[in-house]
Amino acid sequence: MPWARRPSTPVFATVPYEPDERGFLRAVVPSRCPFAAPGEPGCHVAVRHRRDRKTGPCFPIAVVQCSAHPLHSFTLYPPGHFPYGRRPLVSSSVSGPLLLDPATKQPTWAGTVLQAAADAAEAVRWAPHSVTEAPAVRRTQGRHLDLAGLLLGVHPELDDGDRERIATRLRVPTMVVRAAASMWPVSWTTRGAAIVLVLAAVPVDGSLLDRLVSAGYAAGLWARPRRWAPPRSWVLARSGTPEPAAPSDSRCRAPPATTSRGAPSGAPGSPSDP
């Protein structure tokens, strides 16, 4: 089924994951929680449980709670991953750094939610059905096109203000995003091409992941992203600067159905079209 709307999450938090003495990947648990006011003492964050994952990171990820703010528990995602996501936004080490193609020094989109767009731009349709446990099927390709379209500001559900905010976070000229958005209604292949056009204009550096998750926040896909910078601070993903405050933030909108407002007939996700 298409992407469904999800309940708001209190925070979208990412932390490095490191191997323990037995080789199991464990979250670097922050020393303070994102609900604490600046200078507020008394935070003690502990792991409540670990969620097994068959997709996404494909290893157990930590759900934590703070003794000083017991009404809130939250998941610690590894770099590159996002709430409810089965594939990462971009290939990244679980400890933080981006994984780049050694020849081109560019991100590799294979295995990420952006692979669907790269394939569509080359007129590569995913299979209509799959017998594997991790299906790369046509319906999934359509859902990922919608998600990537929102993330990069080219989806028709976004307005010009949304596009400008997303372009600012991605450090892409707004006119590039608007031009790419005009391509969306033509066909499923031009949707992929529109997304690839914006991706090609996105600067690649150490802040790329922060800028992508911040663009997702501007599109309403998840809560304001925060990244734990050991040993003692949360960083707002948009700016890479220490967070001055930690207000509760419920602005969250999951990716819409592939037959969302503004999509032409034969939109991605239908049986006959990615």
* CA angle (145, 259, 222) in 5-degree steps: 55
Q: Is the pTM of this model over 0.85?
A: no
pLDDT at 13: 93
pLDDT at 273: 47
pLDDT at 262: 39
pLDDT at 245: 43
pLDDT at 256: 38
pLDDT at 196: 97
Q: What is the mean pLDDT of each run of 10 residues along the chain (274 residues)?
A: 48 93 92 84 88 82 90 89 90 88 88 94 86 70 94 95 96 97 94 96 92 93 90 74 43 39 38 42
**Rounded distance between C-alpha atoms, residue 255 and residue 147, angstroms:** 6
